[in-house]
Amino acid sequence: MTVLRDLPKLASGKVREIYEGPDGTLLLVASNRISTYDVIHPTPIPDKGSVLTALSTFWFERTAGILSNHLLSVTDGVPDEVRGRAMLVRRLEMLPVECVVRGYITGSGWKDYQATGAVSGIELPAGLRESDRLPEPLFTPSTKAEVGHDEAIDFEGAVELIGDRELAERVREVSIALYQRAADHARERGIILADTKFELGLDSAGALTLGDEICTPDSSRFWPADQYEPGRSQPSFDKQYVRDWASSTGWDRTPPAPPIPDDVVARTREKYVEAYERIAGEPFDAWLRRTDARPRP
């Protein structure tokens, strides 16, 4: 558990924290914690926080032409003890919707399709199988629940929450464009980005801006392309070893989650690093050196 003694902590999620940075900025810190079935394990995955920060940084740089983003720096103003797994960002006024984009039909989208033939109010062709690629990526927003799970809404629900139809239309358009860009890139490198969730906000000048993390395994489903087979649920690129091991223990998925054995930790760390190296096309070490991250015990 990170304690950045000098900085006021503003919020903590299950696997990350936000601190107040200099001059009204925010410091987003990704931890090495991992969850399966929504429960955090007591065992950290070394370098997971750095891989997620490295991936977000890669995507922010690659998508800046679609939409500006909140990233300021991964070095200047980032305390030594979190270098590599933290970013200094501009503070935004976040929109009250989660901008989910789905390129494949899985998870709650698959449930909704089976029950109604539609997802987020969008009618889909009959006969889709679990994990099928969709005819085109869908914007399927959800509410931001303070506690518990976000609730799926249709586009009209997003218009109401955002309070401005033209802004909501732009949010939908850029969300789909961001997903398309990232999914095309990942697919060329053997990873299917099945779906993802963006958080958008308005900067101090009122400009629509991409915030939070982008297309990480924590905000998206990453599937190994070479194992893709519609008609069933897909293995997770990053968490499959933990899930398989957790299931094999007979753990009933209620808290507390069991500690993860060393070999499962090591193999899972390797998958996170592999995801970064495939997508960014550089050794993960290059990221650690670029951010001047220091090895820690």
* Binding footprint of ligand Q0Z on the chain (CB under 6 A): 11-13, 16-18, 26, 28, 70, 89-92, 94, 201, 211-212
Rounded to whole angstroms, the Cα distance separating 194 from 219 reads 11
| CA nearest neighbour of 222 among 259, 174, 260, 187 | 187
DSSP 69-81: B-EEESSTT--GG
Nearer CB in complex with ligand Q0Z: 44/137: 44
Minimum distance of ligand Q0Z from residue 53's CB (angstroms): 11
Nearer CB in complex with ligand Q0Z: 32/131: 32
Nearer CB in complex with ligand Q0Z: 85/91: 91
Nearer CB in complex with ligand Q0Z: 204/247: 204
Rounded to whole angstroms, the Cα distance separating 31 from 45 reads 9
Nearer CB in complex with ligand Q0Z: 9/278: 9
Minimum distance of ligand Q0Z from residue 155's CB (angstroms): 23
Minimum distance of ligand Q0Z from residue 14's CB (angstroms): 8
Minimum distance of ligand Q0Z from residue 188's CB (angstroms): 28
Extended beta strands in the chain, E state: 9-12, 16-20, 26-30, 35-36, 39-40, 71-73, 86-89, 93-94, 97-104, 118-119, 122-123, 133-139, 142-143, 191-202, 208-211, 220-224
Minimum distance of ligand Q0Z from residue 212's CB (angstroms): 5
Strand partners, 19: 9, 27
